[in-house]
Amino acid sequence: MKEIKTNVSGKAEIKVSADELAINVGSGSLEVFATPVMIMLMEKSACNCLSEYLENDETTVGTEMNVKHVSATPEKMKITAEAVLTEIKGREFIFSVKAYDESGLIGEGTHKRFLVFGEKFTAKAKSKLK
């Protein structure tokens, strides 16, 4: 991995369609932006934060997510997630994550990712099938 320091940031965006509504992803009964999709977008923003620093077969996997979903968002609004790298502990990366719709903050919290080697990690996971 290339040298990285804290305060690096990344973003990810999505326009809410019917596919991202709680009623359609199984996380609720309402036509509002689903919490699991917000979490996915936060993870993507953290991945985007690290992407230019990874080399060869390196990648990261999410290991912890602690967030609050504080405001509902209807279909057709744009969501922007932002991640800021706040701490590095060896191969563990800790982020502050936030998500916004066009009206303001909708979610915030912390996220942890761990540096792994893709081929080895995937092989270990698939070994569970044996």
Phi-psi region of 129 (alpha: psi -120 to 50; beta: other; left: phi over 0): alpha
Say what the pLDDT of residue 64 is. Answer: 98
Q: Where are the domains of the chain?
A: 9-125
Our separate counts of H helices and E strands in the chain read: 3, 5
Phi and psi at residue 76, to the nearest 5°: 85, -5
The structure tokens 């066009």 sit at 102
Say what the pLDDT of residue 54 is. Answer: 98
Say what the pLDDT of residue 60 is. Answer: 98
DSSP string, 76-121: T-EEEEEEEEEEEETTEEEEEEEEEETTEEEEEEEEEEEEEEHHHH
Residue 68 carries which side chain, given as an amino acid letter?
Answer: K
> Each residue of 12-71: pLDDT tens digit?
999 999 999 999 999 999 999 999 999 999 999 999 999 999 999 999 999 999 999 999
> Each residue of 102-112: pLDDT tens digit?
999 999 999 99
Give the mean model confidence (pLDDT) for residues 87-113. Answer: 98
Domain 9-125 -> CATH class: alpha beta
